[in-house]
Amino acid sequence: MYSVVERELELRLILSPERSIPVPARLSFRSDDPYAVHICFHINSDAPVHWTFARELLVEGVFRPCGTGDVRVWPTKAEGRSVVLMALSSPDGDALLEAPAAQVSAWLERTLRVVPPGTEGEQLGIDDALDQLLAR
């Protein structure tokens, strides 16, 4: 049996320095996939857009810039509020999303209580499977 930690929140899709639009999103974490976080959002599309990347990237990105390539995350201030920016790149296009830092941090803390950092491998049962294999 695995645990799921979800949070609905409103992100902002940054279109230009002066313009952004609200984007409803859902953050998801599953203890049976402990290294990953999943973000699902609707951006004027028929089907929701899904992104999956390392939980560690989001944990670090709340405090300092991190990531290279398709996913980059960094903290900043917007109109006096603490926010986390996520730059996502794919063959279909790029998006810059702003999330409220307090909400993202609170959700991440819940995921870290379910699967503490450094214990992710235990969730996968790899050690048990190896023990069984080697015991034969």
Give the model's pLDDT for residue 40.
94
The 8 Å CB, 24+ separation contacts for 13-16 are 13/43, 13/95, 13/96, 13/97, 14/85, 14/96, 14/97, 14/98
**Side chain identity, residue 77:** K
Q: Say which residue, 61 or 49, is predicted with more confidence.
A: 61
CA distance 12 to 17: 12
Residue 58 has pLDDT above 80, yes or no: yes
- Global confidence as pTM: 0.85
Q: Which residues contact 15 (CB under 8 A, 6 or more apart)?
A: 21
| Contact criterion met (CB below 8 Å) for 123 and 32 | yes
9-36 pLDDT, tens digit per residue, is 999 999 998 999 999 999 999 999 999 9
Specify the pLDDT at position 92: 81
Which residues make Cβ contacts (< 8 Å) with residue 81, sequence separation at least 6? 100, 101
Q: What is the pLDDT of residues 98-127, one digit of tens each?
A: 999 999 999 999 999 999 988 887 766 666
Predicted pLDDT at 119: 85
Closest among 21, 15, 8, 17 to 107, alpha carbons compared? 8
* Confidence check: pLDDT of 47 > 90: no
